Amino acid sequence: MSEKWLYWFEELNAGQNDLVGKKCANLGEMTRLGMRIPPGFAVSVDGYERFMAETGAGEEIRGYVLEHMADLKSIKNQVKASETIRGIVESKEMPAGMREELYHYYEELRKRAGMEEIAVAVRSSGAVSMPGQMETYLNVRGREAVVRKVIEVWGSAFTTRAISFRLEKGMPVEKAPIGVAVLKMVEAKAAGVVLTVLPTTGDTSKVVVEGNWGLGESVVSGEINPDQFIVDKESGCVECTVNQKTKMIVYHDSGTKTCEVPEENQCKACVDTEELNEIVRIAKEVESYFQAPQDMEWVLDFTACCPENLYWVQARTAKYSKVEEKEAEYLAELMTRLF
């Protein structure tokens, strides 16, 4: 087992999925690309394994699974197993050595950010992608809370689906290829996503930006009607749809809450032209670097000015309908009908 289990993002790159999970490896790659991402560090898969070994949680889980193996075929029992295993993980304290190291990185992060007190997001970073399956904790403050949330993210690897998947494949149930990202929360004025392809048509000549006031989660979850800007990559021509945005997500204590958007802001675009241009400019650059349409998440910090206020928290290859293929088949069909 490698001694080192904590890494600054700038120490990482896209090739290190297995070490720190996709999200962290990706944040590392983004840092290397020169994109502004919130400062932070990664907890590697080795960290998780060390925790499971040193606390005995791994052993306990193995025992539990062996005992209940016969019952684990039914969904009901899998749900129970998931709860139990999560309970086992979360009941453990962080081993003292690991705790000290985490404290140290958190303190260093505070210094790097130049703040007296720092709020961070603790996000899961699976090496195998299971979107929406693993937890993310926002607005986490204080070193003890950070330690707690890291353990909870580890626990969240034991979803019902993950358990049944590992059982089916004959993989050890207590092993989970999970990393954790700990990064500074951005004081979000507005946030959202940008795609360098129109996901519905597969039109790669356009960039679409969607955003809302507050944190990006409201846009990603699809609960509100965000502002939408469709920008032509070549001409820069913008098709702009400003929607009435009644709700937004903001920090609350050590988590988040949904609240009303102040009336004067509801029908106002959540990004200005300069900010929009900067978002599109960077998205296009990232796309051309990876040679593939990108799906990216951005945040505007209200404590800074454009372009220093633009932070990136995610960049991945966009998933969009395989219109190209379908279109070709459609054209072939039309040609057939000519005869």
Binding site for other proteins (CB under 8 A): 201-203, 323, 327-336, 338-339
Between CA 9 and CA 60 the distance in angstroms is 33
**Residue 91, amino acid:** S
Rounded to 5 degrees, what angle do the CA atoms 63, 69, 75 make? Answer: 120
**What is the smallest separation between the CB atom of 70 and other proteins, expressed in angstroms?**
49
Could you give the C-alpha distances from 258 to 92, 189, 252, 314, in angstroms and in order? 32, 14, 9, 22
- In the complex with other proteins, which residue's Cβ is closer, 2 or 201? 201
Which spans in 291-322 are helix H?
A: none
**Whole-number minimum distance, CB 205 to other proteins, in Å?**
9
Q: Which is nearer to other proteins, 153 or 198 (CB)?
A: 198
Strand partners, 129: none
Minimum gap (Å) between residue 334 Cβ and other proteins: 6
Across the chain, the runs of DSSP E, i.e. the strands, are 6-8, 40-43, 119-126, 136-141, 178-184, 188-195, 206-213, 227-232, 238-241, 247-252, 255-260, 294-301, 310-317
Measuring CA to CA, which residue among 153, 173, 16, 177 is closest to residue 90?
153
Closer to other proteins at the Cβ: 289 or 330?
A: 330
- Of 161 and 326, the one with the shorter C-beta distance to other proteins is 326
* Closer residue to other proteins in complex, CB, 115/332: 332
Q: Shortest distance, CB of residue 299 to other proteins, whole angstroms?
A: 31
Nearest approach, Cβ of residue 331 and other proteins (Å): 5
